Copies of this chain bind each other. A is one copy, B any other.
Amino acid sequence: MIRRIPARTQTERSDATTARLLTAARRLFGADGYHATSIEAVASAAGVTKGAAYHHFRGKADLFRAVFTREQEAIADTLERVAAQSPDAWAALTQGTRTFLEHCLDPGFRRVVLLDGPAVLGWDGVREIECAHTLRVLSAGVRAAADAGLLVAGDLDARAQLVFGALCEGGMLLARADDPARALVGVADEARLLLGALRA
């Protein structure tokens, strides 16, 4: 009834199934939200059964955590590349905020990372993962700017966190707009204004 995934070695089979589950989960969680997505639906979309899902993940929340982590890895990776291409620490910050806001145009990203993430994983759970990815890049950017003497003194970690909160809210905000692409410019302007507060 279920088409078996062809693979010679076991690790190949395992990896392939895990990948398919993650892909399906990201699609369904992103489209319908955590609550409205059942494990069985994910498994079915991945071409396997619940048993397979529970073999690779401890439960629904664990599967979600994996999807969430992947999203974090992706955005952090993008941001790091943007920062590397920026001429200076300040440009890295401003361009990074714009890149993050653009990323928020993806409804799946918003749903998984901004809406369901905190409720499912708890704030500490989300923060732990974010600290290793998005927040790490942002903090590094803030610290680099501070080292360059561009920022006023203060609690840099708290500062990065507050800015991050503002950005997430901005991401949700522009998604609601009739013309998100145009709203992005306005929100990015306001965000840049806020960042300007931190300049020495």
Chain A contact residues, CB within 8 Å of chain B: 33-35, 110, 114-116, 118-120, 122-124, 127, 152, 154-155, 158-159, 161-170, 172-173, 176, 186-187, 189-191, 193-198
Q: How far is the CB of A180 from chain B (nearest CB, A)?
A: 13
Evaluate whether A162 and B152 lie within 8 angstroms (CB atoms) in the complex, with A33-B119, A115-B122, A196-B197 already known.
no
Give the residue of B119, B167, B191, B196 whose beta carbon is less than 8 angstroms from that of A118.
B119
Determine whether the beta carbon of A114 is less than 8 Å from that of B118: yes
Q: How far is the CA of A115 from the CA of B125 in the complex (A)?
A: 12
Evaluate whether A158 and B172 lie within 8 angstroms (CB atoms) in the complex, with A115-B119, A196-B197 already known.
no
Determine whether the beta carbon of B119 is less than 8 Å from that of A116: yes
Q: How far is the CB of A64 from chain B (nearest CB, A)?
A: 11
Residue of B nearest to A153 (CB): B193
Specify which chain B residues have a CB less than 8 angstroms from the CB of A163 in the assembled complex: 166, 194
Q: What are 21 A-B pairs at a CB distance below 8 A?
A: A110-B123, A114-B118, A115-B119, A116-B119, A118-B118, A119-B120, A123-B176, A124-B176, A152-B193, A154-B189, A155-B190, A158-B187, A161-B169, A161-B173, A162-B170, A162-B173, A165-B165, A165-B170, A168-B169, A193-B197, A194-B194
Residue of B nearest to A193 (CB): B197
Q: How far is the CB of A153 from chain B (nearest CB, A)?
A: 10
Of A123, A127, A158, A198, most buried by chain B (CB within 10 Å of CB) is A158
